[in-house]
Chain A
Amino acid sequence: MKINFNKLKIFLGKNSWGLVLIVSVLAGKVFGIPLALLILLGAALFWQEKIFPWAFGAGLFLDFFLNGHLGVWSLIFLLISLGIVLTKRLLLPASNRLDLSRTIKIDRI
């Protein structure tokens, strides 16, 4: 039980942006704004390449949720996230990038 709880805790810690993305699909329905798209923009900016699976999943979930044509929102989300990742890499110098997808290893002096 405790091991499962720890696993869940680690999963939530690692995938918080993705979960926020999924929840935003539901929340967007309440507030009547494309909240998922806005969250995706933010998540892609800081989480970079790690957002791709979540962009695909959230898009598919949105398609199912809206009962629309499947794959449409997945394609849109994937293209937007790629666009943001590439834009950030091309326009911002490496020193100015805030990258939350990588952990920094500090060597002991």
Chain B
Amino acid sequence: MKKRYWRQWLIFLLTALVIFIFDFWIIFQPFKSGFNVLINPIKKFLYSGKNIDFEQFFLTAKLRSLKEENYYLKEEILKFKSNLISSQEYHDENIRLRQLLEVPLPQDLSFLPAQVITQEKKKLLVNQGSKEGVFNHQLVLTGNCLVGWIDEVFLHQSDVLRVGSTNFDVPVLIFSNHPKCLATPLFCLKGKGILRGYLIEGILQDEPVVEGDLVSFLNNSRGILLGEITEVSKSDDKIFQKAKIKSLTDSNRLTEVFLLKE
């Protein structure tokens, strides 16, 4: 080490010693007070910094990043859900179009498509109303199966009375369940009756109605099916038979129906 630095170090050491010794008196007190006045704001700032909970700070940062991640993941899930819904819609439409192509409905029939808004056991609410030309007792179909008819019309919505509800009262025709019979049910006629709810009444005893037969409108059936016979039983008066039917539509998964224009 150069002498210059030795000398410098010794001078600093001696100065420090002198300060150390002189500080036993009050000679440096004014300097200390002045310095304290100057440094107090900084000290306050530093002490407030000392109170910072660094662990909490890093945890908050981590929490924030997790929240952001959650937000992006939720967004991704929503995207996937919307994709799923749209693909489900495509799937449903595909099935509907296939059914439309296959059903033996007359070519001259025209339809008004409608979305199902709400479903109840006896009623449906669809998104077409009087503005779109919907009228009372208009038939509502899915494929070639009857869902019900329009019961109440609003401006842009309508109530549909479903097949099977007690107010649904219509004369019906019962015919064999055979592909050829769908277009011309009168040639395969087995019986006639009146449908109330899910029960057909007034079928004559000698009419050979059996389980599995199909039910259509008595007048102008146009290939529209109301249901399928599930049970045949003797009536109490021994003159007529009665039969229970089931609807051919999947009533819980109705998303789109067709209103028959007449």
CB within 8 Å of B: which residues of A?
A: 26, 29-30, 32, 49, 52-53, 55-56, 59-60, 64-65, 67, 69-72, 74-75, 78-79, 82, 85-86, 89
Contact = CB atoms under 8 A, between A and B. Distances in A.
Contact of A49 (B2, B43, B46, B50): B2
Contacts of A26: 42, 46
A5 B18 CA distance: 36
Given A74-B16, A89-B1, A64 B9 contact: no
B35 interface: yes
B35 A69 contact: no
B12 A74 contact: yes
Nearest to B5: A49
A49 B18 CA distance: 22
A49 B22 CA distance: 27
B95 interface: no
Chain B facing A: main interface SS: helix
Given A32-B50, A70-B23, A53 B8 contact: yes
Contacts of B15: 56, 74
28 contacts: A26-B46, A29-B43, A30-B49, A30-B50, A32-B50, A49-B2, A49-B5, A49-B9, A52-B8, A52-B9, A53-B12, A56-B16, A59-B16, A60-B16, A60-B19, A64-B32, A65-B39, A70-B22, A71-B16, A71-B17, A71-B18, A71-B23, A74-B16, A74-B19, A74-B20, A75-B16, A78-B13, A79-B13
Interface of B: 1-2, 5, 8-9, 12-13, 15-23, 28, 31-32, 35-36, 39, 42-43, 46-47, 49-50
Given A69-B23, A78-B16, 5 more contacts: A30-B50, A49-B1, A49-B8, A78-B12, A89-B1
Contacts of B32: 64, 67, 70
A78 B20 CA distance: 13
A58 to B, nearest CB: 12
A56 B39 CA distance: 19
A53 to B, nearest CB: 7
Given A49-B1, A56-B15, A71-B17, A29 B46 contact: yes
Contacts of B50: 29-30, 32
Contacts of A53: 8, 12
A49 B31 CA distance: 29
Contacts of B43: 29, 65
B33 to A, nearest CB: 10
